[in-house]
Structure 1
Amino acid sequence: MTQTTSPPTASRAWLVDLLLLGALWGASFLFMRIGAAEFGALPTAAVRVGIAMLCLLPLMFLRGQWPAFKQHWKPALGIGVLNSGLPFAFFAFGLLTLNSGLAAVINATVPMFGALVAWGWFKDRPDGSRILGLVIGFAGVAMLAGRTAGFHSGADEGAARWAIAACLAACICYAFSANLTRKYLSGVPVMATAAGSQVGATLALALPAAWLWPAQMPSVKAWLALVAVGTACTGLAYVLFFRLIERAGPARALTVTFLVPVFALFYGAVFLGERITQWMLVCALVIVCGVALSTGLVKLGRRRVAAG
Structure 2
Amino acid sequence: MRAADFGRLVALAAIWGASFLFTRIVAPVLGPVLTADLRMLVAGLALVAYFRLVGFDPDWRRWGRKYAFVGLLNSGLPFLLYAYSALYLSAGLMAVLNATAPMWGALFTVLLLGERLTGRRAAGLALGVVGVAVLSRPDAGTTQAFLAIAACLAASFLYGLAGVYMKRWAGEVPARGMAVGTQVAAGLLMLPLIPFSPAPAGVTVLVAASVLALGLLCGAVAYLLYFRLIVDIGPAGALTVTYLIPLFGVLWGTLFLGEALSMTMLAGGVLVVLGTVFVLRN
- TM-score norm. by structure 1 comes to 0.84
From 226, 230, 234, the equivalent of 2:211 is: 226
Q: Where does structure 2 lack aligned partners over 5 or more consecutive residues?
A: none
Structural mapping, 1:179-198, within 5 Å = 179-186=164-171, 188-198=173-183
Measured against aligned partners, the alpha-carbon deviations of 1:129-172 in whole angstroms (never above 9, x if no partner) come to 22122112111101111112xx8xxxx52111100110011111
The total of aligned residue pairs comes to: 282
Contact 2:30 2:200 survives alignment (8 Å): no
Q: Where does structure 1 lack aligned partners over 5 or more consecutive residues?
A: 1-7, 298-308
**Match for residue 223 of structure 2?**
238
Residue type matched to 2:171 in 1?
A: S
- Where 1:138 maps in the other structure, the secondary structure is helix
Residue type matched to 1:159 in 2?
A: Q
Determine whether 1:165 maps to 2:150: yes
- Where 2:145 maps in the other structure, the secondary structure is helix
> Given the superposition, is the C-alpha separation of residues 178 and 201 from structure 1 closer, same or farther in structure 2, using an over 3 Å criterion?
same
Determine whether 1:128 maps to 2:119: yes
Residue 174 of structure 1: how far off its partner (Å): 1.1
Partners of 2:31 and 2:158 lie apart in 1 by 20
**Match for residue 143 of structure 1?**
134
> Given the superposition, is the C-alpha separation of residues 232 and 130 from structure 1 closer, same or farther in structure 2, using an over 3 Å criterion?
same
Partners of 1:144 and 1:282 lie apart in 2 by 8
**Match for residue 110 of structure 2?**
119
Partners of 1:242 and 1:114 lie apart in 2 by 19
From 97, 101, 125, the equivalent of 1:110 is: 101
**Match for residue 63 of structure 1?**
54
The structure where helix makes up a greater share of residues is: 2
Percent identity between the aligned chains?
38
Contact 1:24 1:237 survives alignment (8 Å): yes
Determine whether 1:279 maps to 2:270: no
Measured against aligned partners, the alpha-carbon deviations of 1:196-233 in whole angstroms (never above 9, x if no partner) come to 11111111211112321425352232121111111000
Question: More displaced, 273-282 or 249-258?
Answer: 249-258
> Given the superposition, is the C-alpha separation of residues 169 and 30 from structure 1 closer, same or farther in structure 2, using an over 3 Å criterion?
same
- Where 1:98 maps in the other structure, the secondary structure is coil
From 242, 246, 249, the equivalent of 1:264 is: 249
- Where 1:275 maps in the other structure, the secondary structure is coil
Name which one, 1 or 2, has greater alpha-carbon Rg: 1
Measured against aligned partners, the alpha-carbon deviations of 1:225-277 in whole angstroms (never above 9, x if no partner) come to 11111100011112233444555555544432211111111111111111111
From 45, 59, 70, the equivalent of 1:79 is: 70
Superposition misfits of 4+ residues, deviation over 6 angstroms = none
Partners of 1:217 and 1:233 lie apart in 2 by 23
From 31, 49, 53, the equivalent of 1:40 is: 31
Partners of 1:125 and 1:84 lie apart in 2 by 28
Residue 188 of structure 1: how far off its partner (Å): 4.6
Partners of 1:65 and 1:187 lie apart in 2 by 16
> Given the superposition, is the C-alpha separation of residues 288 and 68 from structure 1 closer, same or farther in structure 2, using an over 3 Å criterion?
same
